[in-house]
Structure 1
């Protein structure tokens, strides 16, 4: 495994595994029973895609990262499930077909650089959904970006890697910067340093509603924090369920 694939694998070790069960359960409650073909955007190392496949969906996974997808293919093979993984940008799905369902979790839409980029994704998803299809995605709430994240710090030391994660408020409204530094052990026992900067931005609920309506979606429902409850002022994660 290359160092970059090791770097991608570190993401799995720092993620809370219970979140994938929660994303799966939320999806199963809100996806119609008669819909089967599912596209997962920003699928990463494929954990959620495998969960969806094991739940009975015909899954296609899309991600920008070659290294993430290499791990996703190994994960699907180990789980003995068939999932096509495609490298690509969710702002351009023209090389893909039509789907009954689309999911985009782990606040992946918050990585879009601006409102227009979010709009582009919504329009692409709408174009590649079958009539009556459902799009589910989650994003950080404005409370999360404005009150919870700024000043957040997380450090972890494991046998073969160490990580420092600090989060700061950014200039644009409801935006944050995650600065991540990893020290990953190579085959010779030496630690190699990797630095990444992740910029995320969210918008108020009305903005998402407007963008979804402009893309053509209808019957938009909004929930919070993996539960079938409406958002409150202190909800951290918003879930949108939209129909074509």
Structure 2
């Protein structure tokens, strides 16, 4: 998984802010009312963690990238909030917890190398949840990975940075490669080029169901595109709500 070194500095500029409200609304509909201690996996620059904290939850954020977490810490302090942010890998949650709720949004599960790692994440989450705890995550659908992303191209231009984002089908089933090129302005006015490669992979819904069941989860429900409805053949994003 890429460490998002350069991505951290421009991530918020290219992220659709409206998604955070959608993730928050979906979560609030599916969180039990009496549970408050929440772990946000792949918390990035902390915007979603702040949304959850402001909604009344006791939030801990975890991310692989210290650069992302530095921004998250700064943002939370500016918002007058005290949110612990932990640098760590969701493949090893042994040192933290327990929690009532765990979320993993922005298709972060899709960055796992294979279904063995996905299953390992599910087991780690299960083990750090309290009994009757809830795990919610989203992933790209197979339709999004197979039909939408290949050939996708996105360009962003701002005064202090520019970005080119191109996506290609990868070799493994339901996998894609995102090639990102950044031009970031330095203090002397010159632009420096950075290149990153992000690889994502998804699986059939049945595969996720089996891996969740193997980890011990029950009452798994699947929804699509931030709404409380079943996925269709052209749904872009699947949401899983699982109970310990």
TM-score, scaled relative to structure 1: 0.97
Partner of 1:104: 104
Partner of 1:123: 123
Contact 1:5 1:71 in 2 (8 A): no
- Aligned-residue offset at 1:7: 4.4
Kindly tell me the number of residue pairs found equivalent between the two proteins.
241
**1:1-244 superposed matches below 5 A:** 7-244=7-244
- Aligned-residue offset at 1:5: 6.9
- Aligned-residue offset at 1:95: 1.1
Deviation per residue, 1:42-74 (Å, 9 max, x gap): 001001000000000000000010100000000
Contact 2:126 2:216 in 1 (8 A): yes
- Aligned-residue offset at 1:79: 0.6
Contact 2:136 2:242 in 1 (8 A): yes
The CA distance in 2 between the partners of 1:5 and 1:92, in whole Å, is 21
Deviation per residue, 1:120-176 (Å, 9 max, x gap): 000000000000000000000000000000000001110000000000000000000
- Aligned-residue offset at 1:97: 1.7
Unaligned runs of 5+ in 2: none
Secondary structure of 1:53 counterpart: helix
The CA distance in 2 between the partners of 1:37 and 1:186, in whole Å, is 40
Secondary structure of 2:194 counterpart: strand
- Aligned-residue offset at 1:6: 6.5
Change (3 A) 1:5 1:172: closer
Unaligned runs of 5+ in 1: none
The CA distance in 2 between the partners of 1:65 and 1:207, in whole Å, is 28
State the Cα RMSD in Å. Answer: 1.0
- Aligned-residue offset at 1:102: 0.1
